[in-house]
Amino acid sequence: MAALVGALLGILSTLLGAVVVHILTAAREHKKWLLDQEKAEYRELIDQLYDTITVVLEHKSKWDSNTESRETFNAAVKKLARMFEDRIFIAKDVENKGIKKEWLELKKVIHANPEDREILPKEFWYSDYNIQVREDKLRKRLVEAANEAIVTTKLF
């Protein structure tokens, strides 16, 4: 009888151990999956920021005379705007860290008409330099936020 009880306890402890290992593995894998999704969203946003600013700098000066340039310009800006709006995993971080606000301010500069300098605050004047400085700052903020969110070493 004692041998039977010992065998049953051995089987039960083995099963319990397997269940605990499964739960811990599943939790770790889910956390890894979430971090991978966050990393992908930050990477997409950083890449699209670069692509959009490249298009803006190439096409803004031509847009009054060239419909194709205007369409290319508008499509690039709309794509980045949509990406800021449709983030699933990093939306809260982007909002809470003021990154989305910085994007909206950059967007004001992108759409600013150079002839409106008298009515716009100086920080919103359109210039290639202003666009590049704001893009640099926004990209650095995105990289910092990504590093804070992703480069963490936690057991669980």
Rounded Cα gap, residues 53 and 130, in angstroms: 11
pLDDT in tens, 118-129: 888 888 888 889
pTM of the model: 0.79
pLDDT in tens, 13-59: 787 777 777 677 778 888 889 999 999 999 999 999 999 999 999 88
CATH number at residue 75: 1.20.120
Question: Domain total for the chain?
Answer: 1
Rounded Cα gap, residues 27 and 18, in angstroms: 14
Helix (H) or strand (E) holding 38: helix 2-59
In a domain, 32, yes or no: no
In a domain, 11, yes or no: no
DSSP labels, 51-86: HHHHHHHHHGGGTTT-HHHHHHHHHHHHHHHHHHHS
In a domain, 6, yes or no: no
